[in-house]
Structure 1
């Protein structure tokens, strides 16, 4: 993994609707990125759908899922360019561990190999 402290603002942020948003950590392995994005999509869908018959637990769980996925991606929390390689790996590993506990693999689907769970 590379030292990312010297990345430029163009590499760290993007603009959307006039607002600056932090980009995901570019050092994320592809499989880790895919898993985090899957959890992020699941969480966003849960936030959107929680108003329909919410039992009171769906919305907080969906919001927690979004927060954890964004933290794992490096879009929230301590900026990824200020973290060491070990800190970045610990960040995404911890996020995936908690996300997988919130959303265990369904028995009808085989579990995928999990990289970054070191």
Structure 2
């Protein structure tokens, strides 16, 4: 029996399009971007531009194939599409062996606060604090329970 998988939109609503969301912070060494506090390896900047563009196009086609396979619930097609996504990401340097040569460990998918980038990341978070000092960020304050 095949279970239908939920789309990104159904798991948490559509992602807000904002200036912050469109350009995630990049670590000082250029190896990672930070999304929701987690490090994600960037593409190899040493790739020749035509090769990079071809791999990005393949990645996008493979992601569309994953989407289509999820809609059709075809398990064989889904596995093949996911292998294509993985191959494109390995080619881009986002997965597989690291593209840098100084021997530094790969911290892909680690929380930034638990890595050598912690101080840098804490500085980013401090800069993003709201000017009003409000902790609620758009939420209503809870009213105290009980009669008054």
Q: C-alpha separation between the residues in 2 aligned to 1:62 and 1:68?
A: 10
- As a proportion of its length, which structure holds more helix? 1
Matched, 1:35 2:57: no
- Give the equivalent residue in structure 1 for 2:91: 72
User: What is the TM-score normalised by the length of structure 1?
Assistant: 0.58
Matched pairs, number: 76
Please tell me whether residue 23 in structure 1 is matched to residue 42 in structure 2: yes
- 1:81 paired to 2:100: yes
Deviation at 1:9, TM superposition (A): 5.2
Unaligned runs of 5+ residues in structure 1 are 1-7, 84-118
Under a length normalisation based on structure 2, what TM-score does the superposition of the two structures give? 0.47
Mean Cα deviation higher: 30-39 or 44-53 = 44-53
- How far apart are the structure 1 equivalents of 2:30 and 2:42? 8
Range that drifts further, 64-73 or 38-47: 38-47
Aligned to 2:140: none
| Greater length-normalized contact order (CA 8 Å, ≥ 6 residues apart) | 1
Larger Rg: 2
CA RMSD of aligned residues (A): 1.8
